[in-house]
Amino acid sequence: MPNNVTSEREAGIAVLLRDLEWLVALAEHQHVTDTAAILRTTQPTLSRALSRVEGELGTPVFERVTSGLYLTPVGELVVAAARDITARYAQLQVDLRGMLDPETGVVRLAFLDSIATSLVPRVLRAFHEHAPRMQVLLSQEPSHHIADDLHTGAVDVAITSAPLPGPYGWFPLQQERLVLIVPPGHRLRGRKQIRLDELGDEQFVTNPVGFGFRSLIEGLLRDAGVTLTASFESQDHATIEGLVAAGLGVAIVPEPMAGQSGSIAIRIAAAGARRTVGLIWRTDRPLPGPAARFRDFVTTVGEPDDSAGLS
């Protein structure tokens, strides 16, 4: 039953749009026979469509006279609305073709703040060379917002730091070593390597609670018997690095973020001190053509990158 009801409703919408288009044509040509010939339909079919519209609206749209049809005052309003509706629907079809065309359409891509100046530009440059007429709408977000946007369909694909449970595809793009960064005057500044269990007395500059990267760092410290104590919190890794360089705490960050404002990087002696960044997308519904093309390009051409030095 539900499928039949849906089909009937869809059919009704299609007929209504066609009836409105015919109504506009009748207003322009003011004669049923002539308009039917122009529309390549029969006069009785066109007359029935007009009666259907007038019956639905509960008022005559045209005044019938021997020489043809003339709009009533109410009909002027009805035809003006019919022109707007049919023109808007035609524009909608044009817009959808533009968005969904795998040659010229739009990809909605979310990505992490911490890879905004490294991995993402490389991926976008390569894809632009591959599909120069396509547009990529960018959304720079924390990982939990990315998860929400993928779930609701606000974005098509994302580059983030971990796969999600459920109906998601995942393709790893890059592995990054995590390092401890300290201020230039810190007691540990001369160390080349450090164990996490040596950091029990340190105050950390880190992401707010709920961020995926914060959870990763808390897990690493917890495994080493250390409870994270936060001195400052920021969503942005560049800001975190700057706060550390200013002497406001220490931090664990992806290695490419270290040293940008003068912080000093120290290698962490822990096998889990790394993160994998990859492309993620929904698998329980078809991707729009442009997003599918982007995914296929990245997963076919893009190879997992170990350039961050995990040796």
Chain segment 48-65, per-residue pLDDT in tens: 989 888 888 888 999 988
Asked if residue 150 and residue 234 are part of one domain, the reply reads no
Joined together, the tokens standing for residue 246 give 């200013």
CATH code, domain with 60? 1.10.10.10
pLDDT number for residue 4: 44
Asked if residue 285 and residue 157 are part of one domain, the reply reads yes
pLDDT number for residue 11: 44
Asked if residue 160 and residue 96 are part of one domain, the reply reads no
Establish if 310 belongs to a structural domain: no
Last residue in a domain, options 77, 100, 123 = 100
Joined together, the tokens standing for residue 200 give 């029990």
Asked if residue 265 and residue 128 are part of one domain, the reply reads no
CATH code, domain with 124? 3.40.190.10
Asked whether the beta carbons of 261 and 145 are under 8 A apart, the reply is: no
Asked if residue 71 and residue 126 are part of one domain, the reply reads no
Helices vs. strands in the chain: H and E counts, helices first? 9, 12
Asked if residue 265 and residue 232 are part of one domain, the reply reads yes
CATH code, domain with 239? 3.40.190.290
pLDDT number for residue 37: 92
Establish if 307 belongs to a structural domain: no
Q: What is the pLDDT of residues 268-300, one digit of tens each?
A: 999 889 999 999 999 999 898 999 999 999 999
CA dist 242 and 248 (Å) reads: 9
Asked if residue 283 and residue 266 are part of one domain, the reply reads no
Establish if 95 belongs to a structural domain: yes
Angle between helices 43-57 and 32-39 (to 10 degrees): 110
Establish if 311 belongs to a structural domain: no
Last residue in a domain, options 100, 120, 141 = 100
pTM: 0.65
Establish if 20 belongs to a structural domain: yes
pLDDT number for residue 94: 67
The tally of domains found in the chain comes to: 3
Asked if residue 79 and residue 16 are part of one domain, the reply reads yes
Asked if residue 148 and residue 296 are part of one domain, the reply reads yes
pLDDT band at 16 (very low <50, low <70, confident <90, very high): confident
pLDDT number for residue 86: 87
Q: What is the pLDDT of residues 194-236, one digit of tens each?
A: 999 999 999 999 999 888 889 899 999 999 999 999 999 998 8
Average pLDDT, the chain: 87
Per the structure, the complete domain to which residue 154 belongs is given by: 106-172+277-301
Asked if residue 242 and residue 180 are part of one domain, the reply reads yes
Asked whether the beta carbons of 159 and 233 are under 8 A apart, the reply is: no
CA dist 299 and 284 (Å) reads: 18
